[in-house]
Structure 1
Amino acid sequence: MARKTKAEAAATREALLDAAEAVFLDKGVARTSLEQIARHAGMTRGAVYWHFKNKADLFRAMLNRVRMPFQELVEEIDAPDLGESPLEAVRLACLQGFQRLERPRYQRVYAILVHHCEVFGDIDPLALQEEMAEESCGALIEYFTAAAERGQLRDDLGPELAARLFQAMLGGLFHDWLRKQDQFSIVERGSELVETQLRLFSRRD
């Protein structure tokens, strides 16, 4: 059999990740086998093992397709002078994240992580959620620190507390939205909550 090109191998890998999303969402992660994923993709189990060491490796690869590092969201924003406006950078980065969450893939994968994934092997869904939350909070601390240094954060609110409060709001919004995605737009409600909280955090002269 001819050796696959890099493009063909990449397409096969993406097809397997797409199949994993569908089967994990339908059956749950713990009850899904690699053979079921391969069959859903129209491939053999050997194709799965060619690209992934095991189910945990496949799961992490699926999750990584929708990871949203905060700094990456900031870098996607096409706006000048965000370095001098850290609170505005936070607002725009959050909006960028909310817009991503309205894409079907993001909705499926985060629903799997929160509602369809039990502890298995070396995968702990709660630990993964905590890891992602702490990654986001660490970035927020940096931006709120920059805001404080520029006199933009209210005097009675430290950067770390501001980041924790903001992260708690985002976490509550995210989990509420995952439970009832058809009842409200995360872009609209999220934008309203973020803008309100940032106003409350801002220093008033």
Structure 2
Amino acid sequence: MARKTKAEAAATREALLDAAEEVFLEKGVARTSLEQIARHAGMTRGAVYWHFRNKCDLFQAMLNRVRMPFQELVEEIGDPSLAERPLEAIRLACLSGFERLERPRYRRVHAILIHHCEVFGDIDPLAMQNEMAEESCGALRDYLQSATRLGQIREDLPPELAAKLLQSMLSGLFHDWLRNHEQFSIVEQGMVLVETQLRLFAPSA
């Protein structure tokens, strides 16, 4: 019975997060109340407070469901040989990230963060975006430093600069796609851009 109760509590929490996604996307974060989220989920406001301290806590939990730390994307590939092939690790991690972004939940939540969220109370969307960008750029830099040590990056390109170039391209692609996600596939266009960028990083034959 205890196990069932725990499962029911988890299901309630997920249903509230699902409702929050829908209402945030429709109304914006600042104009959405916890009561509206509860009502949309067919629950009471007390149910929301049982699982979340406040709207910021709920918003952060919603983001956590779609976080894609770069290192985790690489580790999920499960290929030890990527330690000696850092550029391939970057390519495959980008592919995995693009594939996730095409799932409706990932697209919705990132659209909320980028286009439907103002600074409100403890919620600072710019700070959250900066944190995600810095994590991504730092991981890219680590892999590009490894590629430099292995002689897989052109000598006149510092890995720090290569990381900034790649991060800037990924960020621009991401924002363009969120504005026009029905116009092109982020997987198809993204991989063309990533693979082209990585070829430009490689030493001349």
Q: Which residue of structure 1 lines up, in the alignment, with residue 120 of structure 2?
A: 120
Write the mapping of 1:176-191 to structure 2, written as runs, cut at 5 A.
176-191=176-191
Q: Does 1:57 align with 2:57?
A: yes
For residues 137-191 of structure 1, give each alpha carbon's deviation from its aligned partner in whole angstroms, at most 9, with x where no partner exists: 0101100000000000110011111101100000000000000000000000000
User: Do structure 1's residue 149 and structure 2's residue 123 form an aligned pair?
Assistant: no
Code of the residue aligned with 1:131 in structure 2: it is: E
Deviation at 1:24, TM superposition (A): 0.2
- Please tell me the residue identity of whatever aligns with 2:67: R
TM-score (norm 1): 0.97
Q: Offset at 1:76?
A: 1.4
Counterpart of 2:93, as a letter, is A
Q: Which amino acid aligns with 1:155?
A: E
Residue in 1 that maps onto 2:199: 199
Secondary structure of the residue aligned to 2:143 is helix
Aligned Cα root-mean-square deviation (Å) = 1.3
Q: Structure 1 residue 204: deviation in Å?
A: 2.3
Are 1:66 and 2:66 matched, yes or no? yes
Distance (Å, rounded) in 2 between the aligned partners of 1:100 and 1:143: 21
List aligned pairs for 1:70-109, cutoff 5 A. Answer: 70-109=70-109
Helix, strand or coil for the counterpart of 2:170?
helix
Give SS of 1:81's match: helix
How many residue pairs get matched? 204
TM-score (ref. length: structure 2):
0.97
Aligned-pair CA distance for 1:132 = 0.2
Q: Which stretches of structure 1, 4 residues or more, deviate above 4 A after TM superposition?
A: none
In the alignment, is residue 136 of structure 1 matched against residue 136 of structure 2? yes
Q: For structure 1, list consecutive stretches of 5 or more residues without a partner in the other structure.
A: none
Report deviation, 1:127. Answer: 1.0
2:161 is the counterpart of 1:161: yes
Which whole-Å CA distance do the structure 1 matches of 2:116 and 2:176 have between them?
Answer: 16
Aligned to 2:18: 18
For the residues of structure 1 that align with 2:33 and 2:158, how far apart are their CA atoms? 48
Percent sequence identity over aligned pairs: 79
Unaligned runs of 5+ in 2: none
Structure 1 CA distance, aligned partners of 2:181 and 2:156?
Answer: 36
Q: Deviation of residue 79 (structure 1)?
A: 3.5
CA distance in 1, matches of 2:67, 2:173: 17
Whole-Å separation in 2 of the counterparts to 1:80 and 1:145? 18
Counterpart-to-counterpart distance in 2, 1:154 and 1:31: 50
Query: In structure 1, what is the Cα distance between the partners aligned to 2:201 and 2:73?
Result: 21
Q: Residues of 1 paired with 2:178 and 2:189: CA distance?
A: 13
Could you tell me how far apart the structure 1 residues matched to 2:173 and 2:186 are?
Answer: 8
- Secondary structure of the residue aligned to 2:155 is coil
Provide the C-alpha distance between the structure 1 equivalents of 2:3 and 2:69, rounded to a whole number of angstroms.
35
